[in-house]
Amino acid sequence: MNVVTRFPPSPTGFMHIGNAKTALYNWLFAKHHGGKFLVRIEDTDRKRYSEEAVTAILKGLEWLELDYDGEVISQFSNQERHREIAKQLVANGKAYYCYCSKEELKEMREKAISEGHNTFYDRRWRDRDPSKAPEGIKPVIRIKAPLDGSTTIKDHVQGNITINNKTLDDFIILRSDGTPTYMLSVVVDDFDMGVTHIIRGDDHINNAFRQKIIFDAMQWPVPEFVHCSLIHGSDGGKFSKRHGATSVEEYKEMGYLPEAMRNYLLRLGWSHGNDEIISTDKAIEWFNLEGIGKSASRFDFKKLENLNSHYIKIKDSKELLELVRPFYNKRHNIELSKIAEERILANSEELQSRAKTLLQFCDESVFYAKSSPITYDEKANKLLDEKGKESLKALLNAFTSLTDFTAENIQNACKDIANNLHEGKLGKVAMPLRAAITGTTVSPSVFHASEILGFEETSARIQAAIEHNKIV
């Protein structure tokens, strides 16, 4: 099957996760069929247009690793072609010039409201001779919508949806200033781009009926429609800021991996049996329109986090370090030295199995990038009291007599001290040690961490902790 899909965002300043889901489905469907995935920026609203808004969308796609075919298409730059088609539709008797004045339209609108109609234009210029056109009014072009009967959209997700044609009006396709309307531009671009499948949010279903009128009027094939449910928040409302981060950029900054995001967004509206973890390769192999669910799904942060944990765990440790690198700088103002990198890589397996996000990986490993004396957070500070320091002094002593500074020997030394000083409670020794070497109370195994830091650095940090004046 020849498949061409498209992702046509309006540049709103950021990439909403709903858009990301739409982009993903279009991308997967194209990849599955060996087809094309095209990107078109719907930039005809010049008042709201900005270069940065377009960049934000393209960056979102880049982060999600959704590559597209060819150049990014600008809808605005196709305006001349859209105008031509509007005029062609008039020439073919499928559309007409309408010379209504503002006052006339206002009157019609008020009448429709008072009579309870949802369309208001009374089609007065549909069959009127254009030679009767009044002076000084720049006309719009309106499409001739069907007057009776019904229209059915065959949707791959929603099934057949039929509406009474009475609810369709002769809507404007070219404004009086010569600018095409959104409805016309979308159809012309979709045709020119050879789009075979329109996969988008179900908030566009109403547009589909109007767009079909234009496709039919031009005798162009109507693409297949695939209207997917929107993402909802935990309370069932449309997903918005009050439910959590809405932009793809924010998820990147919170330390999510693009593969986790893709897996999550895929599962949010599509299923393959009971599979939860679906690699991108499998997603491409399996993706189909039948698997798209009809009902809206609620965004579940816990699920996203679980998937992120999974993808962090299985990531190559060097690749992962490259992804975490910017966070050390942003969060802790630290550039990783060679030695810090080596230490982190030596402990990466454990750090990866603990981390739910790249932020967590960063925060739990940043102590490797520090050198003595380090700073202590509030909880660590509390552990460095007289009792803690007593354990640390004993540890410092014990460490000097270790022949091999290995995790096992370090742990045994801690156990001996716990037996001697704290009735066998290992935590009474391990916790102050953790505070001393990491400056925190949350870290990977403190015995491994000590081994990785090495005897000298560990001893220096313990010494500094002993000398540290606890601020009470």
Binding site for ligand GLU (CB under 6 A): 8-10, 42, 186, 200, 204
What is the spatial distance between Cα 106 and Cα 96, in angstroms, rounded to a whole number? 20
In the chain, what is the greatest distance between 2 CA atoms, to the nearest angstrom? 107
Token duo for residue 410? 């370090």
What is the spatial distance between Cα 215 and Cα 85, in angstroms, rounded to a whole number? 11
What is the spatial distance between Cα 271 and Cα 291, in angstroms, rounded to a whole number? 5
What is the spatial distance between Cα 389 and Cα 387, in angstroms, rounded to a whole number? 5
CB of 79 to ligand GLU, least distance (A): 16
CB of 182 to ligand GLU, least distance (A): 8
C-alpha pair distances (Å), 259 with each of 139, 162, 439: 51, 38, 32
CB of 178 to ligand GLU, least distance (A): 21
CB of 96 to ligand GLU, least distance (A): 25
Distance of CA 194 to the CA centre of its chain: 27
Left, alpha or beta for 236 (phi > 0: left; psi -120 to 50: alpha)?
Answer: left
Rg from Cα positions in the chain: 32
Contact by Cβ (8 Å): 40, 7? yes
Q: Which is nearer to ligand GLU, 208 or 266 (CB)?
A: 208
Residues linked to residue 4 through DSSP beta bridges, in sequence order = 36
Contact by Cβ (8 Å): 157, 227? yes
CB of 8 to ligand GLU, least distance (A): 5
143 phi/psi in degrees, rounded to 5: -80, 150
Token duo for residue 324? 């975490």
Contact by Cβ (8 Å): 229, 269? yes
CB of 49 to ligand GLU, least distance (A): 13
Which of the following is catalytic: 47, 102, 241, 302?
Answer: 241
Residue type, 131: S
What is the spatial distance between Cα 336 and Cα 124, in angstroms, rounded to a whole number? 73
What is the spatial distance between Cα 63 and Cα 374, in angstroms, rounded to a whole number? 35
382 is catalytic: no
Distance of CA 39 to the CA centre of its chain: 16
Residue matched to tokens 């990198």: 341
Token duo for residue 15? 């990439």
Q: By C-alpha distance, which of 301, 294, 293, 295 is closest to 233?
A: 301
Residue 191, classed as helix, strand or coil, is: helix
Residue 84 neighbours by CB distance under 10 Å: 12
Residue nearest to ligand GLU (CB): 200
CB of 44 to ligand GLU, least distance (A): 10
What is the spatial distance between Cα 341 and Cα 79, in angstroms, rounded to a whole number? 53
Q: Which is nearer to ligand GLU, 220 or 455 (CB)?
A: 220
Q: Which is nearer to ligand GLU, 42 or 341 (CB)?
A: 42
Residues linked to residue 247 through DSSP beta bridges, in sequence order = 16
Residues carrying an active site annotation: 241
